[in-house]
Each structure stands twice: as C-alpha cells, then as structure tokens.
Amino acid sequence: MTSAEARRQRRRRWIERRAVDRHPVSLTRYRASLAMLLFILLGGIWYTAMTRDRAIQQRVVEFLQDATGCEVRVGSARFSLFGGITLRDVRIATPYKPELDPRAIDPDDRQIVSAESIQLIHNPWLLFIGRLRVEELIAVEPRIRFLQNVDTGAHNWQFFGRSERPRGAAGGGHRPKVRVRSARAIVASLSHDAAPVVREEELDADVRPHPTSETGYFIEVRRYSEPAEHATVVFDPGAKTVTNAPFVDARTVRLQLPKAAQQLFEQIDLQGDVKLTRMTYEASAAMERNYEIALRNVRCRIPLSMLRSGITATQPANATAAGLPEGFDSAVTMTGVQGRLKWSGTRLELDVAGMVNDATCQLEGTVDAADRPLGEMGFDVRFTAAALPAPEGPVRAELLHDPSVPYVLRAIFVDYDPHGVFDVDLQLRRAPGEHASLDLHGTLKPLGVRARSAWFPYEVTDLTGLLRFDGPIVRIEGLNGRHGPAALSFHGTVDQRRFWSQVAVDIRGRNVPLEDELRDALSPHHQAAWRRITPTGAVDLNVRLERAGSADESQQPPWRTRVDVSPVTCAFSIANRYEISDVCGRLAIEDDLVEIHELVGRRGDAVIRLHGRTAFHPDAPPESELTVQAFGVPLDDALASILPPEGRGAFAQFQPSGRVDVNGTILLRRTEPTALYDLRLTLRDGLICYRDFPYRVEDVTGDVLIQPEGVSILRAQGRHGQAAICVTGDVRRRDDGGFAADLSLACESLPLDQDLYTAFPASLQSVWQALNPSGTVAARTHLHCLARDGKLQTHHQTHLTVRESAARLDALPLPLTGLSGEVRIGPQRVEILGLTGRLGDGRFRVTGDIDLSAPRPAGLLSLRATDLKLDDSLFAALPGDLCTALRSVQARGTVDLYLDPLRFAPDATDRMTWYFDGSLTIRGGQADLGLAIRDAAGSVRGSGRVDPVEGVSLNLRAALRTIALAGWPLEDLTANVLMEAGRHNVQIDEAAAGLYGGQVTGVAEIDLGRGEPRYRASITAHDLQVNQYLAASEPAKADPEPSGRSATSRTAATNRTRSDMLQARGDIYGNLILRGRGGTAAYREGAGELYVRSAQIWKLPLLFAIFQVLNLTPDENVFHDGRLKFFLSKNTLTLQTIDLQGRAVSFVGGGTMNLATRELDVTLLAGSPVRIRVPFLTDLLEGASRELMEVRLRGTVEEPTIHPQPLRSLKEILRGLFPKPPEPAEPQPLEAAAQYDAPAE
C-alpha cells in the first residue's frame, strides 16, 4: 500500500469516528438557539391574533376614523394576507354639527357615505411589523350624500376628512387611493322654512392624494350623462377649497350654493349645464365663501324689474299696466349662455355671453346684495349686443305698458318709436337698496332704423348714428337719416331727472322741400308764422326743439321750436311800410317772431343789408328791430342833427371827429310814435377828447355806440404822442337831467408826463406828487363821473404795471430806478403790489398800502433790499441824524435789508414819522470809530423810529458771526444796541464774543453828536488761549534773514519751529478801560491789566531769544504765570509793570512800545524767583542786586535787539523799571472814561 492510499484510509476512518461520536455545544449557542425558536413561535401566535377578522375590523375602523374624522361603523371584516380586507355594511357619518342639521342626532341621519361592501388593499409585509398600511380602497355602488344647510351655508362634506395629518397616525400618514364605481351621489339642500330639495347623480370616481398638498386630493369623476362628463376635481380640506367640478344640471349645482345664490338662480330661471370651477368654504364664515361657476349652453330669463329705478318722480303719468295680468313681469330671455359667475359673500361677478332675440350679446359686471329681492339688488353690469332687433308685436306692447320696466328703457320706445336693429353698449349701475336709482351709461347705435320723434313728428328713415346715455341724460350724437330727398341729422340732449324731461334737440336738414309735411311738424305758432311769410322752394333747415323740465305732474311744460331757414327767396314788408324785394338770406322763425339774418335785398337801385327781427301780433301792428349798415359817414353836425336830442348831447360829451362806418338799428314800437335809433360807429382816423378827462386821443379806430340814452365807446384805440391808448366808456343821460359817465383807458406804454398829470383829478395828482414818477407804465384807469344838481362827483381807479421806470418818494427820498411791478391807485388808497427795482447796485422789493384819505398820506409797507452798498449816495437818502452818524464813522460794506412793517404816518403835530421793524444782514462791513472795525458779517434785528424833529431811535440786537475790532478777530458777537430819540449816543450793552478760544464781554457808548465819533468802553477777557493767540499772531510769510550782532537772539527765536510756538499753552485774563475819538484828530487812551496763568511763555519768540542771549536753556518750568499792567495814550503803550514768574527764573520790569512803529523800549531784570518775588525792593536793599542781571530790549517786536548787562545803580534801574503813567489827552480822568468798571482780578 502506498503512502497516499494509507493517508486516505486514515482520513476516512477519522471522519466515520467523528460522525458517530457525541460532542458538547457551548452555552451561548444553546441559549441563542432557544431564544430564536421562542421568538418565531411567539411571532406566529401574535400575527395569528392580530389578523383575526375581529382585530382587523377594529383596526380598519380606527383607520377610517382617523382618515375621515367621522364616525365609522363596519358590520364585518374578512382578512386575506394577499387578497386584502373585505368590509361589509360600512356606514360613515359626519360629527354632529348643529349648524348643519340640529335634528340629526342619530348617526343614521348624518350618514355621508354608506356601502354594502368596500375592499381595502393593504401592504402584507408591513403586517409582520404590526403596521396596517392601506394602499387602495375600492367601493362599488356606494351611496354618497352631499347636504347643505342653506340658512347657515354649512356643507356636510366640509366636516369630512382631516384638515391636518397627525403625526404617528395609523398608516404613518400614508393616504390610500380610492376607487368608486357606480356611486349614487345624492345632493340635498336643507332649510328650516322649506322642505328638503334632493337631486341624484350617478358617477364613477378615482381619488388619489395631491402630490404637493398633505390634505388635498385629485378626484377623477366620470358622470353618466349625455354627453358623458369627465373632470378632475381637486378637494383640499386643509385649504377649504373644491375646484374643477364636472358640468351638471344647474338645479344640482344650485343645491350646493348659498341661499342668496339659490334664490337668484331661481328668480332668473337658470337652466342648463353648470360647472362649479372653484369653491372656498369655511363653516365659521359663510358670508365670506367664494364660488366660481362656469356656464355652458344655459338659458335664463332676466326680469326687467331688476333694473327698476327707485326715483318714482321720473315716471310719467301714463305709466300704467293697462291690460296686463297682476304679477306680470317683463323679462329678457337669454339662450345659449356661456361664461362664468363668481360668488363672494353676497357679491356676484359675471361674465357671460349668449343670444337675445337672435342677436349675440354679452353681459359682464357685478351684482351686490344678491341676497335681497331683485328690486333691491345693486349692480354694475355692462350689456353689449351686435345687431339687436328692437322688440315688435306683443313684446313691444309689454315694454310700453309694464310699469315694472324701468322708465329710462321704456322712454326710448315712447320718445323715438324706433323700428330696426341696434348695436348696444350699455353700462347699468344701481346701488343696493329699495329706493336706489338706476344709473344708465352707454350707447345705442341704430343700423338703418326708422323712427319718429315724439317732439318733432317728422319721420326719418335709414337712421344711423349714436344715442349716448349718461345717467338720466340721453345725448343724441350724430344721428343721420333721410326723408325723401332731404338729408337729416340730429343732435341734442334729453334730461330725465324731473317728472317731465328737459329736451334740447337740434335737427339739421339739407335740401328740405318746403311742403305741408314740414309745416305740419311745426308748432301752431310756427305754422302761423309760415303762413304770414308763405315761403316756397327748397331750403337748408335747422330746427331747435326745447322743453323745460318740470316736477309738476299735473301739467306738461310747453314745447318751444325754433326753425332756421337758409337760403330762401321771398318778398316781405317791414311794418307794412318798408317793402323789400328780391330778398335772399336767412330767416329764423320762433313763435310769432321772424328773425332776419344777413338779409340782402333791393329797394329801387339801392342795395340794402338788413338784419333784425319782426314780431307779429294778432290784434296790433307788428314790431320791428332792423339793423342798417353804411360806410364812410363823416362825424359832423349833419349826422348829429338826425339823432334824437339825447343822442346829440352824448355826442357832445366825447367831441368825436373823423369818419365812421355806421351799423345802425332802427326800432319800431307800438308805443312810440317815431322810430328809435341805436347806431354803432366804427371810427377811422378819429379823435376823442372826453370833456371831463381832457386827455386827447388821436388816430382813433374803434366802435362808438350812439343811443338815445347816451354814447358808449365800445373799444377805441388811438395814440397820444407815441403811446398807444385803448379807450372804452359811456355817457348816460339821467332822468333828473344830469348824466353819469364811465371811462376806461388802457395803455401799455403810457408816458408819465405833464399832459397826464393835468388830465388827472385832484386825488390822483396828490398821488403823483407823493411818488414823483418818471418813465412809462402800463396803465388801466377807470373814471366815473356823476353830474347831478349842478355838482360833479368823480371817482377813479387806476392800475399801473411798472416796467423799468423811476421814482423818488416824497416821504422817503430814495432814488429808485428800474422799477417793475404792480400799483393800484384809488381815490383814497394806493396799493403797491410787489414793486421791485434797483438802488445803486442793489435790488429791492416793496409791497404795501398808502392811505390817502387823510390830508397827509400814511402807509404800511414791506421792504426787502439786497446787495445795498453803504456809500454816500445811500446815506444822503436817510434821515439827517442817521446820515451824519454813518458818514462820521465811515461805514462801508454790503447789506441785505428786510423791514416788515415799514410804516409812516403823520403824528399829532402833522410831522411825518417812520416806524420800522425787521433785520439787516451785513457782509464785509467796516467802520472807523477811532477803533477800526473790519470784516463784519452777520445780522442785526430790531425796531426803530425816525422822527423829523426828534431824530432816530433804535432798539437792536446784533448777532455777528465775525468782526475784527482793532485787529482782534472776534467771533459770534452778540450785543444790544440802543439809541434814544433826541440823543446822539449809541449804547451797547451785554456785548459778548469769542476771542482766541476764550470769551470777551463788555459795554460801550458811542457819541455821534459832536461831528467826530467818540467812544467809551469797558472790556473784560477771560480764558483766552495762548496757543490760539500765537497762531493768529504768526506772520503770513517769513521775514528776511536778519544780520548783525543784534540778530543773534532773533535768529535763535525765528529758528524755533511753528509747532513749538503753537504748542505753548496757558490762559489769558484781563480787563481794559478805553476811550477815544475818531476822525482827523483821532486819539485813544486807556488802562488795563493782563494776566497769564499756567503758561509756557518762554515759547514766545521774543522771550526765547532773551534766554538764548543769556545762555540759558529753558524748559517746561521756566515761566508759569505773568502779569502786565499797562496804560495807553494815543499810539504809546506804557508797560508799567511786567512780572513773569517761574520756578527756575523770573523777569520783572517795564517800558514802552510805539503801536504805530512797533518799537520797543523795555528793561527787564532776570534773576532767581526767590530774589525777584515781590516785594523785591527789600531784597535789593539787602544786597541781592549782585545776583540780578539787567536785560534791555530795543528795536521792534518783529526784530528786537537784546542787550544783557550787569545791574546798574539802584536808582536808575528803579526809574526804568517803573515808568510813570502818561498824562490824559483830555481833562477828563481816565477812570471816568467808562460807565462800568471792569471786574477786578
């Protein structure tokens, strides 16, 4: 045996031995196997228990209750793992809702779905984990009940289903598909006061969840009808909406609509297929539900009583229902209606089209308060129709006699009797309510209609055009037709706002034969006039028909008819005395009046142009008013002699001359034995000089009307020199023998010359003297004169438009040029309406009134002036005191002035006094009081008075942004400025300003009454900053390089950088008492003290140079305080005391400085602060003089020379250190130079 075979044999034996041997199993594997076996056994038991029919029935009931939110009853359930669940005797009832049916307490009365059998297809695998998931639900021949309570608007299906899907619900939120076959849908309507109405439909439906809505469903509905209907309904309980329902019978849809909609559909007898396209419902807000309905091939009947107007006063007396049965209601029947309806609460929106009387029509708009009766609904609808035939036969008779038909519609047939077809476009509006009126707008377009107006019974055929309805007003626009060979057109209005309509209609005819039919259409008065004239031929005819509106129901207002005929050929006589033959022209006949328009005829060889009218009277001669024309008649005594006496007197008032064209009127009156004249004269190259206003107007062209009462200048244009003048007016004779004249003159460029001044009455001459005008103005003057009892009274009113004129007011002599504006002048008042002009380089505007009623004028003005230059020409126009003061201080600058009010009036002594209140804005102001004032800018506000005797008084408040006073750059200066009348002193109080970062206050008095200005002032400064003073004092550019030995210290000072100077810190305090005088003998003197605290005075260039000369190195502790006492006399500044104290070194001394040349003569002692401290005289006497050094400063402030030397004799140094104060320039002591003392330090 080979080794391989031996190995195979040993292996086979080992396997056989292992197969029959028993081997122990581990405890873990043993327990796991028992647990698995137990789980499988228990799972099988649990699955068997859970899929029992009873358990499945319970789970299905829970599933349906959760899915529908309703009460569910299931008779039995049979489970099959793969065959589904079969339910028997299923009943689903909605929850009890009193608003739906308060009597339906039993669930059987609330059933919404019932079925004998329902199949549920579920997911078998999820049952192994304890979940019942229904994939599909199939119901065959179920009964579905749709119920609505029309009183509350509640539907039973709105309580069916969950508006929200709860989390963790059975099925995990999954919604199954539903298939319904051969379902009977019962639609019912429930009302407390009526029996239930039920409709039944048969349909199939497939329901599937909406993919984008958690609560929505798609419902595929198939309806068994002819034709068959198929639609996809979207039902979303969460959104409370139902959309896209299928077309069903209108009666079925009506049961699901609100009560108001059901009533409306019943009243209009809606029949046909109706589709509910959208419905939004909510049980708590039934009035806010929305319904959208589509119509298809629908028939309806719209009662015309729905359009009835609540204003019964416009109904005519014959509006009775003669021969009509009680309750009869005329209506418009529409067939084949297509469109949509949208219902929102009680508002109905409609957009439908259909057929009315075989004509295509459309109806769109809104109906409000649709829950009310038809006669109380409000609506705003538009009705359009193409080629709509007018009703004929019995229908027409109904419209004419049915009182329920709105009168506005019935009046069309009563007033026009139309026959034919129309294009209709009408907008009908009425507010909700029982007495609301109908508002009708739109148009009716006749298409070849035959009609006869009730007001002018002249039949017209082939009528086209437009009837426009604007509420109660009917407008006839461009109606054209024919009557035989005549072409006719109609225009007018009919106002139906009263019981009897107001009518105004124009009829125009061309080539109308003068025949009996036309005559018979006229009123009796016109027919009588026709017979008197007896016209023949063919004419162009214009007829005006009018009737006034009236609210009196008992009597119809009379008709008025006016006929214009042109051209016509006839012959007639005027007053039976003046015969005209071969006449052509135009006649207008109205009642017994014949109007002659541009009638041209012949009398013998003369051609006569007549215009006028003749009135015929049954029992009296006719009256005539004729106009006669003539040309080139001279204005002479021959023409005046043919006028009546009154005409000759008026002719003399205007004193006309020249040649005229005459348009004369001849009047024949029954009460007048002779003819009366009314002549219009058109002047050529005439002249008029009114006797009471002797201002000659030449080259006159215009119209003058001469009448028995007087002469009227209608509009005459002439010239006075180079000025064109327009004259109008009249002179009327009075019954008392006097006359009244009114004359108006207008001129665009009237010269203000002596001729005009002489022609003016006395009151206007006084105004002239007050204004002293020159130049030209546009003037309009009205002059009224009344002569009575030998006395002449005049009244005038003049309006001037000033353009680039000049004036100089007598009361305020300002030379005003370039004047433009408006001035109205009356006998007692002058109104300046915005008068602008120039005063030098400035502009001004003046408005206000001047009263001329008193012996001397008084005025209230408003003056605004800009860019006025303060110069001598302006000063010369000011009052004497103010002029002298401004000239004495050499005031200059530019100011804007606003004075409102600026009033002038005579005082008790008849002196003209001016009062003003306002403001003055100054720019670049400067003056010289002895102290130079420069760069003043800001405003001054206040009031004042100017008296010719007492002078000027002022009460001002100054607020200047900037001003340089004696070189001090003050900022934000405020002060009170007072000047009393009769005195020449200006008092300045409470003055305050900013200076170098600190504050300056003071008071001052300026005396302007001695020829040259004098001033006294007391000034106090505090918190002035050293660094700001240095920055302001630094020169604008570097000085030339110094040379010489004395320049050593100056060079060291100027080498200090600007930043070191500006970093010097410290506060400056001081006071100053000052007085002086300006002018040619100017002087100034004063005294004061100056204190410097916590300062780095060594950084000043002059002091730094002293340190360099003394070979000292300054630091931050060199100087910290300083005191300077000084006196001023003219240009000499005496520095009586200089005391500079520091921790390391101190300076004391004194000297003088020439302010004009800025030259210095100062002596200082430099030494230890202990030795120098006051009283240092004791230290000197004790021998401390050996420790001091004398420093002398000469030269100027900008280029000083510094000479250090040992201390001289004690007597000499004391004399140099403490110079004597200067003697005063005037006897008055310096201490009395100011009214107020400066505050002591």
**194-221 residue pLDDT tens:** 778 888 888 888 888 888 888 888 888 8
Run of H or E residues at 1217 = helix 1210-1217
- Banded pLDDT at 686 (limits 50, 70, 90): confident
**Comparing 201 with 163, which gets the higher pLDDT?**
201
Burial of 614 (0-12, 13-18, 19+ CB in 10 A): buried
Helix (H, G, I), strand (E, B) or coil at 20: helix
pLDDT at 21: 59
Residue 596 · residue 610 · CB < 8 Å: yes
Mean pLDDT of 1033-1047: 48
pLDDT at 913: 83
| Rounded Cα–Cα distance for residues 788 and 866 (Å) | 52
User: What's the whole-number average pLDDT of the chain?
Assistant: 77
**Dihedrals phi, psi of 413, to nearest 5 degrees:** -80, -30
Residue 1031 neighbours by CB distance under 10 Å = 15
Predicted confidence (pLDDT) at residue 385 exceeds the cutoff of 80: yes
Residue 721 · residue 747 · CB < 8 Å: no
DSSP strand pairing (739-751 vs 776-788): antiparallel
| Rounded Cα–Cα distance for residues 993 and 938 (Å) | 13
Alpha helix ranges (H) inside 974-1080: 1026-1033, 1047-1054, 1058-1062
Run of H or E residues at 741 = strand 739-751
| Rounded Cα–Cα distance for residues 347 and 30 (Å) | 81
pLDDT at 1050: 46
b or e along 1068-1103 (b: 16 or more beta carbons within 10 Å of the residue's beta carbon)? bbbbbbbbbbbbeeebbbbbbbbbbeebbbbbbbbb
Segment among 161-175, 382-396, 405-419 with least mean pLDDT: 161-175
pTM: 0.46
Longest Cα separation, the chain: 188
pLDDT at 320: 44
Segment among 263-272, 279-288, 587-596 with least mean pLDDT: 279-288
Alpha helix ranges (H) inside 1160-1204: 1169-1172, 1176-1181
| Rounded Cα–Cα distance for residues 215 and 238 (Å) | 5
Q: Where are the beta strands (DSSP E) in 56-142?
A: 71-80, 84-93, 111-122, 134-140
**Comparing 493 with 239, which gets the higher pLDDT?**
493
Amino acid at position 1142, single letter: G
Predicted confidence (pLDDT) at residue 647 exceeds the cutoff of 70: no
**416-457 residue pLDDT tens:** 888 999 999 999 888 888 778 888 899 999 998 998 877 778
- Cα within 13 Å of Cα(890), Cβ side: 13
Residue 717 · residue 746 · CB < 8 Å: no
Close Cβ partners of 9 (under 8 Å, ≥ 6 residues apart) = none
Amino acid at position 708, single letter: P
Segment among 339-348, 671-680, 771-780, 996-1005 with least mean pLDDT: 671-680
Predicted confidence (pLDDT) at residue 361 exceeds the cutoff of 90: yes
pLDDT at 664: 83
**1130-1143 residue pLDDT tens:** 888 888 888 877 76
| Rounded Cα–Cα distance for residues 453 and 464 (Å) | 15
Predicted confidence (pLDDT) at residue 1241 exceeds the cutoff of 60: no
Mean pLDDT of 1001-1017: 82
Burial of 150 (0-12, 13-18, 19+ CB in 10 A): buried
Close Cβ partners of 554 (under 8 Å, ≥ 6 residues apart) = none
Segment among 225-239, 455-469, 651-665, 982-996 with least mean pLDDT: 651-665
Burial of 933 (0-12, 13-18, 19+ CB in 10 A): buried
Q: Angle CA(1006)–CA(1011)–CA(1014) in degrees, nearest 5?
A: 25
Close Cβ partners of 1172 (under 8 Å, ≥ 6 residues apart) = 1141, 1146, 1147, 1148, 1165, 1179, 1188
- Cα within 13 Å of Cα(1117), Cβ side: 4
**728-761 residue pLDDT tens:** 888 777 777 677 778 888 888 888 788 877 877 6
394, two tokens: 């019995």
617 forms beta bridges with: 620
715 forms beta bridges with: 703
- State the residue for tokens 């309009």: 780
| Rounded Cα–Cα distance for residues 453 and 451 (Å) | 7
Segment among 268-277, 514-523, 937-946 with least mean pLDDT: 514-523
Residue 304 · residue 333 · CB < 8 Å: no
**923-935 residue pLDDT tens:** 888 887 777 888 8
Does the CA dihedral 326-332-338-340 come out positive or negative? negative
pLDDT at 1180: 45
Helix (H, G, I), strand (E, B) or coil at 471: coil
Predicted confidence (pLDDT) at residue 676 exceeds the cutoff of 70: yes
pLDDT at 809: 62
pLDDT at 386: 92
pLDDT at 1213: 55
